[in-house]
Amino acid sequence: MTSAKTPASPWLALVPWAFVLLWSTGFIGAKYGLPYIEPFNFLFIRMLLTLVVFAILIGWQRTPWPSWSEARQQMLVGALVHGLYLGGVFAAIKTGLPAGMTAIIVGLQPLLTAVVARFWLAERLSLMQLLGFWLGLLGVILVVLGRQAAVGAVQPAGILWALAALLGICAGTLYQKRYGGKVPLLTGTFWQYCAAALMMGLMTWSTESGSVIWSPQLLLAMAWLVLGLSLTAILLLMVMIREGESARVASYFYLVPPLTTLEGWLLFNEHLSLLSVCGVGLTAVAVWLAVARATSA
């Protein structure tokens, strides 16, 4: 049995929804910026700018630094959540893997997290939660299929990169839940981005040319990804991991592809099919089921 917790603040109920809304805009930001910069260089510069922002906040808030042992754990989380996940997604798309198929593979995260958390963290799942995880996966597939009628040839390297991204986000959130709950958010996340910056720097140095077109569109996309995603959304994710079960936290990721689809429809006039609309509705029901607690012990 878990120990009694102090009453949660009312604003905590809004954290997952704010996180999902912000996280879904990452794909929109990437779409704005990637025509002007290579993907790993984009992520490398983003990580460096994020470190500057976090350093300013840490100095302003006078946040205590974790021990070196805790810092190493946070760097591992950063390598998984920010480095392997983001780098894997960008690399998969770069090899020619369709974004829709990448989304389906990465969309397995809630199911994989729930299974691993059941054995590693001893988290119990109700039948309604399990039903929600499967319905959520079906909803994501419907959303993606509604946007993409044909897939075409697929490179094995793209599949491997997408699977690496899936393992990265799953392992990173589970590791943070088990070992990083007591680390201060600002300084802990700073160490996470240190690891991610090192990874992206090595990737862009070894695989890319480093060419950049500093257009206003790229600058706006970079500013949003740093402040909206790397700062605000990641801090919200760390709060969610600290306050809730890993499986429940992961279930909210099912809402990201539907929200991204709606944003693409609103911002870029992308086609929104009836199949995608059905998928959006199904994922909403699925997340409601997945985050519901079982009434019986």
* DSSP one-letter string for 24-64: HHHHHHHHHHGGGB-HHHHHHHHHHHHHHHHHHHHHHHTPP
280: confidence class by pLDDT, cuts 50, 70, 90:
low
Q: Rounded to an integer, what is the distance from CA 162 to the centroid of its chain?
A: 13
Mark out the alpha helices in 95-150 (DSSP H runs): 99-106, 109-120, 127-147
Q: Average pLDDT over the chain, rounded to whole?
A: 78
Banded model confidence at residue 6, pLDDT cuts 50, 70, 90? very low
> Mean pLDDT across the stretch 224-230?
91
DSSP 230: I
> Are the C-beta atoms of residues 136 and 254 closer than 8 Å to each other?
yes
What pLDDT does 46 receive?
94
pLDDT at site 5: 43
Residue 169's nearest CA partner among 256, 101, 107 is: 107
